[in-house]
Structure 1
Amino acid sequence: MKHALFHRAFIAPLVLLLSCRQESSTPSQAAITALSLKRGQIITCGATDRKLGAVEFNTSCGVATQESFNLALQLLHSFEYDEAEKAFATVINKNPACAMAYWGVAMANFHPLWTPPSELELKKGVKAISIAQSIAKKSPREAAYIAAIAAYYHDWERVDHRSRCIAFEKAMELVHSKYPTDSEATIFYALALTAAADPADKQFINQRKAGRLLEALYPNEPNHPGIIHYIIHTYDYPELAVLALPAARRYAAVAPSSAHALHMPSHIFTRLGLWEECINSNLTSVASAQCYAKEAGIKGHWDEELHGMDYLVYAYLQRGQNGLAKQQLDYLKSIKEVSPLNFKVAYAFAAIPARYSLENKRWPEAASFPIDSTVVPWKDFPWQKAIIHFARVLGSVHTGQMAAATAELAQLKGIHSLLVKQKDAYKAKQVEIQLRAAEAWIHLLAGRNIEALALMNQAADLEDQTEKHPVTPSEVIPARELLGDMLLQLNQPKQALAAYSASLRKHPNRFNGLYNAGLAAERAGLPDSAALYYQQLIMVANAANSDRTELKTIRQFLTAHKFNVAVASHEI
């Protein structure tokens, strides 16, 4: 009863808005021009002929628009938002009275699983919805879709992004309930469930529900880009990732003309520690993104290229391929302009060099991490900037520079306060984890071991209670792995082993996780356990011809202990 009342209370303002708005047959050219639609040739890269999967969405807009509308949805489902808007603009050119084309424009400016829309995107979405609502000729089903996306944009100046995502979820639930045989309604409802999921919900209620809906559709529509794409997103968690592995291994073949489709499987490969597949996925994705930048006439680099590079560097480091990781780092330093300049770009510019320094324990380098504003205006990206200060703290502590570490800690505190003030709870919590870890290592440097361990445990527990942001392959350094490093430094190998083992369950096949777990087991007098971890690392890194010195050390250990390689496949 309460649920039904909520739905009636929620949908009533939308119905009222529709009834009060004067409807017409065709919007004015001035209204269409005011949208400032992206237009031009649809650009795709990857496959030689355009392959974006199969989508069929019947509208009341006429046969002449059907092919363009289907193409727009194919692009939308693979998050090719700019190209999707161009395709919806083509529909509008053919039929300015196609209400669903304006729905599509509003959807293309939403990008629910990425960063919230900019003010310009929000204003465009509102204008598009206004036009869609004003058009008289639309079916009840089309009106329901339009009302659902209107729920997201409604009162955007006063209502926060997450609350509006929840409003979209509830509205799409109504569409799904009213049209249960409409697979697109089910697919967009599943997307809405994932977008509205609580990052702190470790039961994954929304995600599991979305997964069930999508998996029920998949056998009948195996080439639908939205179904396969959203399965990957909804299961992009350590506890669920294995459920998405079949989809991850198929998505690139379904939509090879989308750079995002080529990259997206690597989310699952990363979750499962399948580094070779992750590398191959992102090599093709980066190449496709470079092609797109050239074809689109983008000055500099496209943001999707930087996103793929972050995942690529992370995978190279886990395979111990420092040379290839360094090539990507040097290439990053050569980049002077990226478009659009957004959260993904800022994250890559902070995370890639930080990962290279911290994963390889190049502490002097981490301590002097430069803040280069040539490309990224860091004041606009405080969460990403926190990565730089966090790396500097760890570098300063490990090189014995207390004053420098304390100064960087103050910077982290300032960023945390700013994010709290901005009411960005998720990012504030991520910085809080870094803040507690940074304080822990400063206490350790000062000899306050009890305080250090208490704070480091708090940081690890906080990180366990939430999830990484979809933009990144992993936290720069997992907090529980850092806890293991601290325990190992304090000569508590058994406790360190427990911390590393727990971290590896969430971050399988991490190079330092496996190596340090083996080292902790060795120091704890558990040579058989040490050998298992070491052999697992050999399996992860050996094919890569890694030059990491740790591999030479563990091969000597395995030879000395005459470890039976046949047991290497035993689960650790």
Structure 2
Amino acid sequence: MKPVFLRWALFIFLLLTAVSCKEKKTAASPEAISALNLKRGALIVCGPTTQQLGSLTFTISGPASIQPAFNLGLKLLHSFEYDEAEKVFAGIIDEQPGCAMAYWGVAMSNFHPLWTPPTVTELTKGSKAIAIATSLPKQSAKEAAYIDAIGAFYKDWDKVDHRSRCISFEKGMEKLYTAFPDDHEAAALYALALNAAADPADKTFQKQQKAGAILQRLFPGEPNHPGIVHYLIHTYDSPELATLALPAARKYAAIAASSAHALHMPSHIFTRLGLWSEDIQSNLASVASAKCYAESIGKEHWDEELHGMDYLVYAYLQRGDNTQVRQQLDYLVAIKEVYPVNFKVAYAFAAIPSRVVLENKQWVAAAHVQAPVANIVWDNFPWQKAIIHFTRLMGALHTGDKAGANTELQALHRIQDTLIAQKDAYKANQVKIQIKTAEAWMNLKAGNKAEALSLMQQAAELEDKTEKHPVTPGEVIPAREFLGDLLLQMNEPGKALEAYEENLKKHPNRFNGLYGAGLAAEKSGNKVKANRYFQQLLAIADTTGSNRPELTTARTWMAKH
């Protein structure tokens, strides 16, 4: 009896297995695909008539007909052209609804790891895409690992914070990279994951150094790979590492000239190194491409245009070119609607007018600065809103409006409390730096020099311990530069010179940094350094017809000495 029982048990097991295999999905249902609400339509890129997005090859399972489209989607993904990448992956899904890696592409297109965290809509779409990809038959262990890695980011997205999920993605990509060390896509995306998970307060740049080592090994063999060159720039986007990215920065725009973001991205390194002419040319090209894209999708303005303008105004200010600065500011104020409204758009709207008045020390204008109206709900962007309050606060202080300064300081404290409640420690600390800076100048105006100096030093030290956000060209005004200004006001030119020089190491060729250093050197009797810094200032601010009074002072000094 026992052998017969075993034969029947084996027969039932095989029958159930066969039924199970027949029932296993080979494609997503039309309902599941419809629920994704995928972006669709013709591919839109601006730039050369021949599409230039770099080169790569990544073979996936499926018919040969979808391979070129997948490579195109991946190239767009590497240049952060997320909307267009999603369109391409959607096209693959329409043709081959059983292609698991196409759903992986959709999930990646809604992640944007180095920008602001995905919205609820994007998180919902990404998690649904991963659920479909997971339900489909895996054609290879490698593809399963790719899907698992991004799946780790979307897992429990409604319960787990963004940074923790970025670390989960990093661990998933590390596992993939370790299992398939010869896969260049895995290596490039692992480097991206390391950057996404890096702690802004880690001044050893542990994760960035690891990412850089991986990318530097790949770069000579694949010099036209958009991801490798792009992620090298992000990896080394810090004062201490920026020179390592200069070759990549000078190459990326030519590799992916059809991407507005690729045209802009080199300016991250040009800004870090104070290469203002290259910075300006990079962002003029990027802004033009972004305007073209906005027109193509039927919108007045696209977010990438505002992002490029932020860097462009920053560079014009360092050249002392207020004519171009005013043109950009007037254009910004006239903008009434941008698509989509997000972190970098709000930052540009707040930072550009604030930089203009603070860099020029136009204190009356600073006291009354307003964020452009546009289509922004400012309560959704407390950190950016703080920039406006800080600018008004500094304007009020320098124009003797104590009541106005106190009102703005209270607003900064409320925003800091909001960011702490949101568990956004990085942005809360940035506002803390603004608060300490403001309190330092309040104490100086009140005659409390020792307390003023202590608070300003605290602000500078706190800022030194953290990196700027990847979206921004830099702090609105560096805290250590403010420290130099404060020391000059206290008639301590020698110490002011030390502060300016320390600041210039992190922010080379800043207009006010060079001028402050030259002025402090002159006042402290150091003619050699005064000559050096004023000469440097005149070299970078060679704009014809600039009306900055600092340049008149520098020219007068050089004529006499």
User: Normalised by the size of structure 2, how large is the TM-score?
Assistant: 0.95
Whole-angstrom distance in 1 between the partners of 2:374 and 2:210: 44
The separation in 2 between residues aligned to 1:197 and 1:23, in whole angstroms, is: 40
How far apart, in 2, do the equivalents of 1:169 and 1:189 lie? 7
Please give the alpha-carbon distance, in whole angstroms, between the structure 2 residues aligned to 1:346 and 1:137: 42
Residues 369-408 of structure 1: pairs in structure 2 closer than 5 A: 369-408=369-408
TM superposition shift of 1:522: 0.3
Q: Give the aligned partner of residue 306 of structure 2.
A: 306
Instruction: Name the CA distance, whole Å, in 2 between partners of 1:374 and 1:542.
Output: 34
- The offset of 1:446, in angstroms, is 1.4
Classify the secondary structure of the residue corresponding to 1:290. helix
1:25 and 1:137 in contact (8 A); partners too: no
- 1:550 counterpart = 2:553: no
Counterpart of 1:482 in structure 2 is 482
Report SS of the residue matched to 2:219.
helix
Q: Secondary structure at the match of 2:361?
A: coil
Amino acid aligned to 1:536 = Q
1:41 partner amino acid = A
Report the equivalent of 1:570. Answer: none
Superimposed CA distance per residue, residues 375-425 of structure 1 (whole angstroms, 9 cap, x where no aligned partner): 321101000000001001110111111111011000000000000000011
What does residue 206 of structure 1 align with? Answer: 207
Structure 1 residues 193-342: aligned runs within 5 Å: 193-298=194-299, 300-342=300-342
Shift of 1:371: 4.5
Contact kept, 8 Å, 1:59 with 1:66, in 2: the verdict is: yes
Per-residue CA deviation, residues 145-168 of structure 1 (Å, 9 max, x unaligned), is 000000001111111100110111
Contact 2:111–2:118 (CA<8 Å) still a contact in 1? Answer: yes
What is the rounded CA distance, in whole Å, between the counterparts of 1:33 and 1:413 in structure 2? 45
Residue 447 of structure 1 deviates from its aligned partner by 1.4
Of all paired residues, the percent bearing the same amino acid is 64
| Alpha-carbon distance, 1:543 to partner | 4.8
Following superposition, the deviation at residue 370 of structure 1 comes to 2.1
Q: RMSD across aligned C-alpha pairs, in angstroms?
A: 1.1
Contact 2:336 2:373 in 1 (8 A): no
Amino acid at match of 1:425: A
Q: Which residue of structure 2 aligns with residue 49 of structure 1? A: 50
Deviation at 1:373, TM superposition (A): 3.9
The alpha-carbon deviation at position 81 of structure 1 amounts to: 0.1
Alignment of 1:409-448 (within 5 A): 409-448=409-448
Shift of 1:545: 4.7
TM-score, with normalisation over the residues of structure 1? 0.93
- Matches for 1:99-248 after TM superposition, within 5 Å: 99-248=100-249
Task: State the shift of 1:547 in Å.
Answer: 2.6
In the alignment of these two chains, the number of paired residues is 540
Structure 2 equivalent of residue 355 of structure 1:
355
Which residue identity lines up with residue 508 of structure 1 in the other structure?
A: P
Work out whether residues 97 and 137 of structure 1, in 8 Å CA contact, stay in contact via their aligned partners in 2. no
C-alpha deviations, 1:347-377, integer Å up to 9, x for none?
Answer: 0110000000000000000001124544321
Distance 2:41 2:284 in 1: 28
Once the two structures are superposed, residues 220-273 of structure 1 have per-residue CA deviations (whole angstroms, 9 ceiling, x without a partner) of: 111000000000000000000000000000000000000000000000000000
In structure 1, the residue matched to 2:12 is none
The answer (yes or no) to whether the contact 1:406–1:442 under 8 Å persists in 2 is no
AA partner of residue 196 (structure 2)? A
- 1:51-78 residue CA offsets vs partner (Å, 9 max, x unmatched): 0000211000220100100000000000
Q: Based on CA coordinates, which of the two structures has the bigger radius of gyration?
A: 2
Amino acid at match of 1:358: L
Instruction: Verify the 8 A CA contact 1:103 1:146 in the aligned structure 2.
Output: yes
Q: Report Cα offsets for 1:261-314 as digits up to 9, x if no partner.
A: 00000000000000000000000000000000011112x200000000000000
**1:343 maps to 2:343:** yes
Runs of 4+ off more than 3 Å: 371-374
**Paired letter, 2:532:** L
Shift of 1:443: 1.2
